[in-house]
Structure formats: C-alpha cells, structure tokens
C-alpha cells in the first residue's frame, strides 16, 4: 500500500477539469490567428473572474463603473501590453499568436482557481504545448512561473519547474530531461552592459538532464549546466 497516495479531486470534478483542459487544447490547436485566440481567452477569463459569459455593452459614461470597465476590458488580451513587447529582439511573428496564451497563463495563476494544484499542473502543460518551442512528456510546472517570450523555451521530458521561477527566454533556454528548477530561481538567456541596460547581448542557456537548480539560485545568460550538475545550496539531510 502506498503510504503517500497522490491527492485527487473528486471524480465529478476531475471529469470537468479534464474536459475543460481538453476543450482548450482543441481550441488552441484549431485556431492560430491571434485575434481568435484572444477571443477564446477573453471568454474564458470572463467566466473565471466575473462568473458570467462575455457580452453586453459597457456603460463608459458613468464614473462609478470605471473600475468594473477597466477589469472587463483588461480580460481581453487585445487590450493589454506585456513587457516583452517593448524588447527590440522580439520576433513579432512568433510572439503574436502566443501573446493571448501568455496572458491566459498569467491570469489563470492569479484567478480564484489558480492555486488548484492538480488542475494547474495539467493546465500549464497544455498551454506549454502551444507557447513553448517544445515541451516533453511529464513536465510539471508549478504556480506563478514567469515567462518572457515562450517560443525560445524548450523543456524536455520529466522536467520540474517549481513555483515562482523566472524563465527569461529572450536568447533561448533549454531544460534537459529530469532537470529540477527550485522555487524562486531565476534563469536568464541574455546579459546587458553594466552602464546601459538597453545594450543587450543574447546568450542561450542550457540546463542539462537531471541538473538541479536550487531555490533562489540565479543562472546567468550563456550558462551551460552539465548533466546532473547542482547549482546553489541544498539543505543537508
């Protein structure tokens, strides 16, 4: 008997969760046009945040309704900007169809269901198939992971990325099979001049298979972490 059984949602909830994730996977597989993806994300976020379908005309004249209008308009990815859009090395052709999904990624984690662990692992793996350059089987991505471009990120089978990790993939990040990146770690793939933050050098970063990046560790752009290598401090047993 397993002394530590894996927690599961109730069967009815699990069925609903799986149907929702599969529905989204099918929709994003079918639709690549940024505008259509933005509509799908908008409609989903309306229900997650406001508990109602999208629709109806906003009353833009009443000052008392301005906060609600700001929320409603901001649930539509076409009305928001991301920091990545200000970077000169951005590939707009690759980024455009991913932008709505990056917004969905961020807003899901901040929504009332964002800390639903069982669902979140499956939701992020699904979105990763449509955002990342590539993603393998059995990848586990925890709550609050921050992405930059997404399309320059490659994650191999069985990798684990713990909560609140930053994956700044401007220059490209590859994470090998079975690698573990600890909570709040920072992984970069670029550097900048000491006195000029706009003078950026892209530098791909590679984290080898079964490597371990400790919590709060920083991996600088251009690093090559070898297979099984450990970066940072882990508590001794």
One domain for residues 118 and 152: no
One domain for residues 115 and 226: no
Q: pTM for the full model?
A: 0.93
DSSP assigned state of 7: P
One domain for residues 119 and 172: no
Give yes or no for a contact between 122 and 112, defined as CB atoms under 8 angstroms apart.
no
Percent of the chain with pLDDT over 70: 97
One domain for residues 109 and 152: no
Amino acid 128: pLDDT: 98
| Spatial distance between the Cα atoms of 63 and 82, rounded to a whole number of angstroms | 27
One domain for residues 46 and 123: yes
One domain for residues 112 and 92: yes
| Spatial distance between the Cα atoms of 132 and 203, rounded to a whole number of angstroms | 18
Domain total in the chain = 2
SS3 233: coil
List pLDDT tens digits, range 53-65: 998 888 888 888 8
What residue numbers bound the domain in which 32 lies?
Answer: 11-131
Tell me, what CATH number does 213's domain have? 2.160.10.10
One domain for residues 23 and 116: yes
Q: Which of 81, 108, 131 is the last residue of a domain?
A: 131
- Residue 6: pLDDT band with limits 50, 70, 90: confident
Residue 236 has pLDDT above 80, yes or no: no
Q: Please report whether residue 47 resides in a domain.
A: yes
One domain for residues 156 and 56: no
One domain for residues 19 and 99: yes
Q: Which of 131, 148, 182 is the last residue of a domain?
A: 131
Q: Which of 107, 131, 155 is the last residue of a domain?
A: 131
One domain for residues 136 and 113: no
SS3 5: coil
């Amino acid at each position: 008997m397993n002394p530590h059984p894996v927690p599961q949602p109730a069967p009815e909830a699990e069925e609903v969760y799986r149907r929702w994730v599969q529905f989204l996977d099918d929709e994003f597989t079918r639709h690549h046009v940024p505008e259509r993806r933005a509509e799908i994300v908008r409609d989903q976020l309306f229900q997650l945040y406001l508990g109602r379908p999208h629709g109806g005309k906003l009353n833009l004249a009443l000052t008392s309704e301005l906060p609600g209008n700001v929320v409603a308009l901001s649930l539509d990815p076409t009305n928001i900007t991301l920091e990545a859009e200000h970077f000169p090395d951005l590939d707009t052709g690759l980024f455009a169809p991913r932008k709505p999904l990056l917004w969905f990624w961020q807003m899901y984690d901040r929504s009332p269901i964002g800390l639903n662990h069982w669902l979140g692992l499956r939701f992020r793996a699904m979105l990763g198939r449509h955002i990342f350059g590539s993603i393998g089987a059995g990848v586990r991505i925890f709550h609050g992971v921050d992405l930059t471009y997404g399309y320059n990120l490659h994650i191999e089978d069985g990798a684990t990325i713990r909560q609140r990790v930053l994956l700044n993939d401007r220059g490209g990040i590859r994470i090998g099979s079975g690698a573990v990146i600890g909570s709040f770690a920072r992984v970069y793939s670029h550097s900048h001049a000491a006195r000029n933050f706009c003078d950026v050098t892209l530098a791909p970063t590679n984290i080898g298979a079964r490597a371990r990046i400790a919590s709060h560790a920083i991996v600088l752009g251009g690093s090559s972490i070898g297979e099984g290598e450990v970066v940072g401090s882990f508590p001794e047993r």
